[in-house]
Chains A and B, each alone.
Chain A
Amino acid sequence: MAEITFLEAIREGIAEEMERDPSVFLLGEDIGGFGGAFKVTEGLQARFGEKRVIDTPISEAGIVGAAAGAAHYGMRPVVEMQFIDFISCAYDMLTNYVATARYRAFLPCPMVVRGPSGGYVRGGPFHSQNPEAAFLHTPGLKIAYPATAEDAKGLIKSAIRDADPVLFFEHKYLYRRIKGTMPAGDHLVPFGKARVAREGKDLTIVTYAATVWKALEAAEQLAAEDGLSVEVLDLRTLLPMDHEAIVASVKKTNRVLIVHEDTVTGGVAGEITAQISERCFEWLDAPIRRVAAHDVPLPYAPPLEDFVLPQTSDIVRASRWLAAY
């Protein structure tokens, strides 16, 4: 099997689900003939027709609301946000309407909202955001944020089949940089199951999305330069979150560093920290520590972006501090 990129893996996953289930259809800005700003949906309109790949006006709240209505009546809409930053325009729809539909009114809402997220690409404050934490707090939603091409495909397929609404974050830095070989057959990755990206015994790094690769790079360096054995846990989905896997790893290594690209205050790491201290405080040999973005809107200029976002060198320094504690 040939290797394909992270981006192609998502497209392949979507196409397979469209093939399998006629109720799956796509909605978004410029996703049809143009194939989307990043070309994730390229070729899908030609293949599945204009009824199943619909170009919409620039109306995020409208698109998400319409998807919910369609989902109530048996469709499986997959919405593209041109950049995930623009999901803020649909925040009300997602948190108030979509997320509560099942609980308050027994309304099924099987839909996916997906889009390119994340920084490291000099996109400035409105094309680099990581809004996952804004939705982590919303019961009723599920959140996937894959790091590998294999997971991108397996998780988008699971997301489309899921009975509940899923936010699917696609890190744009990974789109064309990461490749993988897709497992044969109907490759599904379940929600709520973390992946041990690297085994280790001295320290656990809990992370997801693009920083998985930075953590792996750091682990490599720490092994070579310090003889440290670092375990890297890739969460894959944030809602539900695999706390069992986190706890198991922390009990093994007794030290934990949480790394994410989003800003530190109110970020996902805070929730993970709380879970660890509730579930395995006695196993800790060092304080739980976080490496995340500084609490500022993401600036555009390269030196500023580099400073604000967590880098491999930060993970290395923080790991050394933890290991020496």
Chain B
Amino acid sequence: MAEPSVTADHAPPDGLTREQLLALYRWMRLTRTLEERLVALYRQTKVVGGLFRSLGQEACAVGSAFALERRDVLSPLIRNLGSMLVKGATPVEILRQYMAKGDSPTRGRELNIHFGDVEERHFVGQISHLGDMVPVMAGVTLTFKLREEDRVGLVYVGDGATSTGAFHEGINFAAVQRCPLIVVVENNGYAYSTPTCRQTAAAQFVDKAIGYGIPGVRCDGNDILEVYRVTRDAVARARSGGGVTLLELLTYRRKGHAEHDNQSYVAPGEIEHWAATNDPIDRYIVRLTNEFGFTPAELADVDADVAREVDTATDVAEQSPACDGPDALVGVYADPPRMPSLWFRDGVGSAVDAHERPAGWGTHDG
């Protein structure tokens, strides 16, 4: 896979304070440290189900989410843990969710980062079906437009998800309605084992914007300041009534689709090359120290702080209770809040015990 051929503008985006520059670093570090902890827990078989990494892609999620205001809504994809952290999800929630704990955000119903919070932190959890969140976010942002609320939405999809019908229908709908929506295509080179060239015949995803009649911007997804800048511009456009923007962030998935995937389909040396030359955190450290005057000690403090936070969260999450089977029946509908248990579980035959067997009923010989 070719490396991004986009040249970064080396000035920090306007208005970013020192604290914000450091916060960007902290979110990326937290994402990586938390995922590394999840790997350890996965190896101890404490994670239920699969584990999906965003190693090497942290700048995409963090930089873009950082461009939103708290009131704005974001819909993450499997590799956008960083964006959820920026939006207020806590490490302990993520850990509980992966360990299927009874007090996890979804009470054990859903896995990994499939959860949302529409009340306070404003993220809408994804489902597995790829592309489905694009029309959903079209509806969220259409609502903001109809109610004239000063809010925007941002939805992530992978390169693979752009092939779905839902992606196309959602982005087209939002474009026609001029919804305040930013669609982020995180182009990490692979969809499971499928390279981008087998996903689309388009030279670049950003070209698709032309077909929808919306602006498209492509950028180096491993340069967090550039990701921040292009997203911030798209957010400003959306806020001022300019409608949908398609962003293509060029990055690379250094881990397999999930932890069990050995990446046999990747060309030798490719992963190592990206790790050595294009790690978003390493690149940002260089800029923070060389251009913005941060000292290695300041960054080390952040690292230590993040490690402590993840340690504490792990302890809390490990002590969280497991789910209780019958809780599975709660909340399918608003009313009644709990489904009845089936006859073979709840006092076998309860519904039928009262039934009198008519006289004369017996075994037929026929």
Q: Which residues of A contact B (CB under 8 A)?
A: 29-30, 33-34, 37, 55, 57-62, 82-83, 85-86, 88-89, 122-127, 251, 254, 264, 282-283, 285, 287, 289, 291-292, 294-297, 299-308, 310, 314, 317-318, 320-321, 325
Contacts and interface: CB of A to CB of B under 8 A. Distances in A.
A195 B164 CA distance: 39
B335 to A, nearest CB: 15
Interface in B100-119: 100-102, 104, 106, 108-111, 114
Given A282-B364, A295-B332, A304-B328, A62 B323 contact: no
A285 B198 contact: no
B323 A285 contact: no
Contacts of A59: 163-165
Contacts of A57: 160, 163, 194, 198-200
A303 B48 contact: no
Nearest to A307: B325
B292 interface: no
Contacts of A37: 192
Nearest to A304: B328
A82 B257 CA distance: 13
B48 A296 contact: no
Contacts of B352: 287
Contact of A58 (B163, B325, B339, B342): B163
A127 B322 CA distance: 21
Contacts of A289: 343-344
A302 B200 contact: no
A303 B109 contact: no
Instruction: Please provide the 3 A-B residue pairs with the shortest distance between their CB atoms, ordered closest to farther.
Output: A301-B108, A307-B325, A126-B128
Nearest to A54: B198
B324 interface: yes
A255 to B, nearest CB: 9
Nearest to A121: B49
B290 interface: no
Interface string B128-162: 11110000000000000000000000000000110
A55 B200 CA distance: 12
Given A264-B342, A289-B343, A34 B109 contact: no
Nearest to A284: B364
Interface string B334-366: 000001011111001100100101000111101
A225 to B, nearest CB: 16
Contacts of A307: 325-326, 328-329, 345
A58 B191 contact: yes
B327 interface: yes
Given A282-B366, A300-B108, A301-B104, 17 more contacts: A29-B191, A30-B192, A34-B265, A58-B131, A58-B191, A125-B110, A126-B127, A251-B366, A264-B342, A283-B364, A296-B339, A302-B322, A303-B322, A304-B109, A304-B323, A320-B348, A321-B348
A320 B349 CA distance: 11
Nearest to A316: B344
30 contacts: A30-B193, A30-B194, A37-B192, A57-B163, A58-B191, A59-B164, A62-B163, A62-B165, A85-B128, A85-B129, A124-B111, A124-B128, A127-B128, A251-B366, A254-B363, A254-B364, A264-B342, A282-B364, A285-B362, A285-B363, A289-B343, A294-B328, A296-B339, A299-B323, A302-B100, A304-B108, A307-B325, A307-B326, A318-B348, A321-B348
B166 interface: yes
B128 A295 contact: no
Given A29-B194, A251-B366, A296-B329, A122 B109 contact: no
B7 interface: no
Contacts of A58: 130-131, 160-161, 163-164, 191, 194, 199
B44 interface: no
Contacts of A124: 49, 109-111, 114, 128
Contact of A301 (B102, B194, B357): B102
B112 to A, nearest CB: 9
A264 B344 CA distance: 12
A30 B264 CA distance: 12
A59 B159 CA distance: 12
Contacts, number: 155
Given A34-B192, A89-B129, A321-B349, A294 B164 contact: no
Nearest to B355: A287
B18 to A, nearest CB: 42
A11 to B, nearest CB: 17
B199 A301 contact: no
A211 to B, nearest CB: 13
B323 A301 contact: yes
A300 B48 contact: yes
A296 B328 contact: yes
B344 A317 contact: yes
A29, A62, A264 — which one has the most chain B CB atoms within 10 A of its CB? Answer: A29
A34 B264 contact: yes
Interface in B21-70: 48-49
Contacts of B127: 125-126
Nearest to A92: B165
Interface in B162-218: 163-166, 191-194, 198-200
A151 to B, nearest CB: 27
A30 B258 CA distance: 14
Contacts of B348: 317-318, 320-321
A236 B106 CA distance: 36
A252 B364 CA distance: 10
A29 B257 CA distance: 13
A318 B325 CA distance: 19
A48 B130 CA distance: 30
Nearest to B263: A34
B136 to A, nearest CB: 15
A8 B114 CA distance: 33
